[in-house]
Each structure stands twice: as structure tokens, then as C-alpha cells.
Amino acid sequence: MYLTKKTKEDLFKKHGKDAKDTGSAEGQIALFTHRINHLTEHLKRNKKDYNTERALVKLVGKRRSLLDYLTKKDILRYRAIVKELGLRK
């Protein structure tokens, strides 16, 4: 499996407050970004996998919603996470 418990803990430790802080917006955005990157690589190999394509679009929408929330809540946290993950607007 591509997303192990250890991988999740590392993501939340790096982008959240600690490994158990799974609810922070930064941690969720980092997790979604990791999953989006994985699905993107999958779709490069399997071009006709439309179910995965739909899941990817839904994940991108969820991440966008969290980024919009973070923009309204705290612009400095938004800018930090966008820079850290290398996202573009």
C-alpha cells in the first residue's frame, strides 16, 4: 500500500503540530497532496482509468476548499503551506 501508517505520521509531523494532529488544515492539505501525486502517477500509466480520474478531481476539490478556508482564516499559514508543498494558485 502506498500510504502506510508511518507515511501518514511523517506527513502530519512535518506539516501539523505533531504526529497525532490529524485535523489541522496543513496536515490535511499535505495528505491530500501526497494522494494527488500518487494518483497522478497512476493515471500517467493507466490513461483509461476513469474512476481514478474522478477520485483525483474530487481530491483536488477538497484540497482547494481547505486552501480557501486557510486563506480566509490565516493568510500566513496559507502562504507557508503553499510554499512548503510547492503548490500553485
Give tens-digit pLDDT for 38-80. Answer: 999 999 999 999 999 999 999 999 999 999 999 999 999 999 9
Cα–Cα distances (Å) from 70 to 23, 74, 76, in that order, read 13, 6, 9
Query: Residue 23, SS3?
Result: coil
What's the pLDDT band for 19 if we cut at 50, 70, 90? confident
Q: For position 81, what pLDDT does the model report? A: 94
Alpha-helical (H) ranges within 18-74 are: 25-45, 50-73
Asked whether the beta carbons of 32 and 85 are under 8 A apart, the reply is no
Contact 63, 71 (CB under 8 A): no
Query: Which CATH code of 3.40.50.1460, 3.40.50.880, 1.10.287.10, 3.20.20.370 fits the domain covering 25-85?
Result: 1.10.287.10
User: For a pLDDT cut of 90, what percent of the chain falls above it?
Assistant: 82
pLDDT(32) > 90: yes
Domain definitions of the chain by residue range: 25-85
